[in-house]
Amino acid sequence: MKRPLLIGITGGTGSGKSTVSKEIFKSIHEKKITVIEQDSYYKDQSNLTFEERVKTNYDHPLAFDNELLVKHLRDLMDNKAIEKPIYDFENHTRKKETISVEPKDIIILEGILILFEEEIRNLLDIKVFVDTDSDVRVIRRILRDIKDRGRTLDSVILQYMETVRPAHLQFIEPTKRYADIIIPEGGYNKVAIDIIVAKINSILNN
């Protein structure tokens, strides 16, 4: 089997990374594509108390288990299956269960800091930055964290002001320079997504 095509999709929290990933996924036969979320690779914190876990800055590079993520990416690129972790955002630690992921022709890696880490960045064949206005991103973050992660409105806003926004300016926004493609207003830019899908198909058909 030939080496899979590895596509990185990044951008700030709430930028529309997941939407872009889903749109690309829908445009490719599901037997040929899989998605790996960087969020699944937050470090295990089972050795900490719940009070200590709550203080974790999830927007900082040190929050991620990049060693495991790189190993899993290399395994997939060597056409080996992996056991992807599952992160429990209500309890702020990794679950004991994992998800089996088989190698596919196309692997999408989606996450806020995938272009920050040089070792990950160098593995990517196509690097996409989803660029969305900050007011849109914060509203999406509020809606997601309340609905999907069991947070309160006050806690989401406080977290955004104390850690999310500073981390975006320090770690995420500067990685835009590494991108091959920048998508404005990600998730709703059909032309940009069609261009990426066309590029993927051209590579697959070569």
Which residue ranges make up the annotated binding site for ATP?
11-18
Element at 110 (helix H, strand E): strand 106-110
> For residues 40 and 21, what is the distance between their CA atoms, to the nearest angstrom?
15
What's the rounded Cα separation, in Å, for the pair 205 and 184?
28
By the 8 A CB rule, do 167 and 59 touch? yes
- Residues forming beta bridges with residue 131, ordered by sequence position: 184
Yes or no: say if 87 and 20 are a contact pair by the CB < 8 Å rule.
Answer: no
* Rounded distance between C-alpha atoms, residue 64 and residue 62, angstroms: 5
- Please give the Cα distance from 16 to 186 (Å, whole number): 5
Q: What are residue 42's DSSP bridge partners?
A: 64
Binding residue ranges: 11-18
- Residue 58's closest CA among 149, 135, 136? 149
> Phi and psi (nearest 5°) for 98?
-130, 170
Residue 30 is encoded by which pair of tokens?
Answer: 């599901």
